Structure formats: structure tokens, C-alpha cells
Amino acid sequence: MRKLFGERLNLDWRIAVVIVYSTLALIIDSYHAQLAPWDRWLPWWNGSGLSTKVIDRMLLYFILPMLITLFIFRQSPSDYGFRLGNWKAGIILTLGGIILMAPILWLLSRPGDSMQSYYKPFLDGLPWNTFLDLFGWEFFFRGWILFCLARKFGPEAIWLQAVPFALAHIGKPEIETLSTIFGGFAFGCVAWRTKSFIYPFLIHWFIGSFTIIVAAGLLG
């Protein structure tokens, strides 16, 4: 092996696991409308107005990474942002993010816009669809990936986690997708400052829910 590569490769196996798993999870999520017949297995869920797709995403982005953390990495979830962290800074940043984004979203999601046509059908099941969907996503990107990569790359991990986050938006309205490299970085900064994924989740939950509400024309 040394003759082949010229030097010994000192790779962090946990980073390798996170990169490989996160890549496969995003691909699987993209290629499959539903991973299992949840509507047959959970008929009560199917009648609740909640999307069965959020079950897939909670499984792929929260439950399985959490199990890997506990039983393969043998680490505490708090090492990956699953904690309140600096809650005082978190509250300030969350409120600031909401105040900043509300008027921007109101302008971008008005009727007739591409955002409106894409998001209006998601009104059913609000706000719990966005809660479950984005809880898993934020733990995945701003918890698991960010704090794992930070072990080796330090704050550069904030940019690194924003790349798969942006690519995961392909297929959504173009203006949103183009902005997500910067949005992902901003969410990463909030997680880095607070040492928690909770606060970027709360901001993202507001963004997702408010966009749907505006797109549905509920705010005039």
C-alpha cells in the first residue's frame, strides 16, 4: 500500500464514514419517492395529513446517523451538536434570522413566482411536515457533518457542509438553490457559534413554514 501511494495515509475513519454515508443517503433520498410502504404500515399516519416522505428523511438524516454515532463511533450525540449549547446566543441569532428573512421570503414567495408554484401544495400538514423534515436535515448537515468535519478541518467545515446542502436543493426553484450555498454557510455559522444544530433548525423551520404560508396566499 505504501509503494502504491508513496506515503502512509492517515485517514480519520469517522470522517470517512460520515462522508460515505451522507453521500449515499442523499442519493437514496433523491432516487426514491418512498423507502418503504409507510402508508400500509402506518395507516394512522397516512390519514394525518403528514407526508410519509418525512419518515424517510427522519430515518436517513436523524435516526441512522444517531445510531451510527452511538454504536459505531461510541460517542455522545452532544459531540455532534445534539444539545442546547450556548442558548443565549442561540435565541438572539434565531430571532435575528427570523426578522431578517421574513420580508425577503414575503417578496420571493408572492403569487405568480416560481417559489409560489413549487411550495403552495405543501400547505397540508403544516407546520409538522416542515418540523419533521427539517429537524432531520439540520441534525444531518449542521450537527453530524459539520462537527465531524470540524475534528480535522476546524471552522473550514462550515463551508464544507454547505456544499452537499446546496446540491441537495437541486430540483427546487432556481433562485432558492442558488442561494443555499450562502444559506448553508450562515446556518453553519449559527451552529458553530452555539455548538448546537437546534438554532439553525429553528430558523430553517420558520423559513420553510413561512414560505409555504406566503405561497398559499394566506398573508394576502
State the pLDDT at residue 70.
98
pLDDT, residue 135, reads 97
Return the percentage of the chain with pLDDT > 90, whole number. 74
Q: What is the pLDDT of residues 152-161, one digit of tens each?
A: 999 999 999 9
170 forms beta bridges with 172
Q: Specify the higher pLDDT residue, 44 or 171.
A: 171
- How confident is residue 134, by pLDDT bands cut at 50, 70 and 90? very high
The Cα–Cα gap between 61 and 135 comes to 9
Tell me the range of 34-48, 90-104, 205-219 where mean pLDDT is highest.
90-104
Cα dihedral sign for 21, 24, 30, 32?
negative
**Domain residue limits, the chain:** 2-215
In percent, the amount of the chain with pLDDT more than 70 equals 95
Q: What is the mean pLDDT of residues 86-113?
A: 90
Give, in degrees to the nearest 5, the angle at Cα 62 between 19 and 49: 135
Residue whose C-alpha is closest to residue 46's, from 125, 123, 102: 125
Long-range contacts of the stretch 42-45 (C-beta < 8 A, 24+)? none
